Amino acid sequence: MEIKSVGIVGAGQMGNGIAHVFALAGFDVVMNDISQEALDAGMALIDRNMERQVSRGKVTEADKAAAMGRIRTTLKLTELGQTDLIIEAATERETVKQAIFEDLLPHLKPTTILTSNTSSISITRLASRTDRPEKFMGFHFMNPVPVMQLVELIRGIATDEPTYKALVAVVEKLGKTAASAEDFPAFIVNRILMPMINEAVYTLYEGVGNVRSIDESLKLGANHPMGPLELADFIGLDTCLAIMNVLHEGLADTKYRPCPLLTKYVEAGWLGRKTQRGFYDYRGETPVPTR
């Protein structure tokens, strides 16, 4: 089951990063989105990020040119049907993901493997709505994709061994490391990371520390490269809240209850870097804590 061509649904932060690493590794890539603006912005970002790699001597100009030439964009989801592997990297809403797979099904090759880059949604449940649950897996890249070395591989209850082995081989070809996770809410990384971020928000909510002291404490006291509130802003507070809700609902344990302050920030539309305000205000020259 050799994989040579890849279809990517979504040209946003995750989708364009995934396209970037696959193209550099020699795969033919077709990237889809619902708007031409999103596709153009995704391609521009891939170009800038590869240029940064060239300037640092990690990639040659020739490699970059070849990789950019391997990426094709399309507004038609159905054009992804003839690829060997499809990676869905759309918004983290189950109804959206199900609709994408339903639209794709009539156009797929019998051998096409379907995957989702979801950070928390049940792979078994997504797979059960398709015609190939045995050829369906979670393929969870970390953000930013070109930099982060880990890929979580999540098998649904029906995923077969050849599909799993094919994706292990793909991860190796990308030069990344695969970690196998069972299909339980939030898998490995977010099962551990998100409650830590949520606890940092509780620490702020309860007045144990302010934004700056909490982040400095974890950076200098636990040697984390980024404080938990700074990291939450980078990920997106809406994404953090969505994953905490998946954990809370899926595991029915009060220790996963989202902090009311996190909910309040999301209700205000203060989602972090992408909206210029979260636990920090990014509208000036340097980020300023909002609490």
Answer yes or no: is 63 within a domain: yes
Q: Is residue 229 part of a domain?
A: yes
Query: What is the Cβ-side half-sphere exposure of residue 267, based on CA atoms within 13 angstroms?
Result: 6
Catalytic-residue membership of 152: yes
140 is catalytic: yes
**Average pLDDT for residues 75-102, to the nearest whole number?**
95
The torsion defined by the Cα of 133, 135, 140 and 146, in degrees rounded to 10, comes to: -160
Q: What is the pLDDT of residue 119?
A: 87
Q: Please check whether residue 74 lies inside any domain of the structure.
A: yes
pLDDT over 80 (residue 20): yes
The total of structural domains in the chain comes to 2
| Residues 10, 133 within the same domain | yes
Residues 57 and 150 in one domain: yes
Tokens of 38: 């999103």
pTM attached to this predicted model: 0.91
**Do 25 and 131 sit in the same domain of this protein?**
yes
Residue 164 covered by a domain: yes
d(CA 144, CA 138): 18
Does 290 map to a domain?
A: no
Catalytic residue among 20, 32, 49, 152: 152
Of the residues 119, 120, 122, 198, which is catalytic?
119
- Same domain membership, residue 145 and residue 14: yes
> What's the pLDDT band for 226 if we cut at 50, 70, 90?
very high
How far apart are alpha carbons 200 and 215 in whole angstroms?
Answer: 9
Query: What are the CA-CA distances from residue 210 to residues 38, 206, 207, 280, 291 (Å)?
Result: 37, 10, 7, 11, 6
Same domain flag for 77 and 220: no
**Is 107 annotated in the active site?**
no
Which pLDDT belongs to residue 202?
A: 98
End of a domain among 146, 181, 216? 181
Give residue 186's pLDDT: 92
Considering the domain architecture, whether residues 46 and 72 belong to the same structural domain is answered as yes
pLDDT in the model for residue 184: 94
In this structure, is residue 289 part of a structural domain? Answer: no
Query: Can you give the residue range of the structural domain that contains 272?
Result: 190-284
Catalytic residue among 32, 122, 190, 198: 190
Residues 255-274 have a mean pLDDT of 98
Answer with the one of 141, 162, 181 that is the final residue of a domain: 181
Active-site residue identified among 16, 116, 117, 140: 140
pLDDT (mean) for 134-156: 97
| C-beta of residue 40 within 8 angstroms of C-beta of residue 71 | no
Q: Catalytic annotation on 122?
A: no
Does the structure show a pLDDT above 80 at 1? no
207 shares a domain with 132: no
Backbone angles phi, psi at 107, to 5 degrees: -110, 0
Residue 156 phi/psi, 5-degree rounding, is -75, 175
> Count of residues for the chain?
291
pLDDT band, residue 93 (cuts 50/70/90): confident
Note whether residue 89 is domain-resident: yes
CATH number at residue 138: 3.40.50.720
Tell which residue, 14, 18, 10, 9, has the closest CA to residue 274: 14
Q: Are 31 and 167 part of one and the same domain?
A: yes
| In a shared domain, residues 78 and 170 | yes
Q: Give me the mean pLDDT over the 68-95 stretch.
A: 96
Q: Is the pLDDT of residue 96 over 90?
A: yes
Q: Is 207 left (phi over 0), alpha (psi -120 to 50) or beta?
A: left
Same domain, 159 and 239: no
| pLDDT of amino acid 11 | 97
pLDDT tens-digit readout, 124-144: 999 999 999 999 999 999 989
Residue 47, SS3 per DSSP: helix
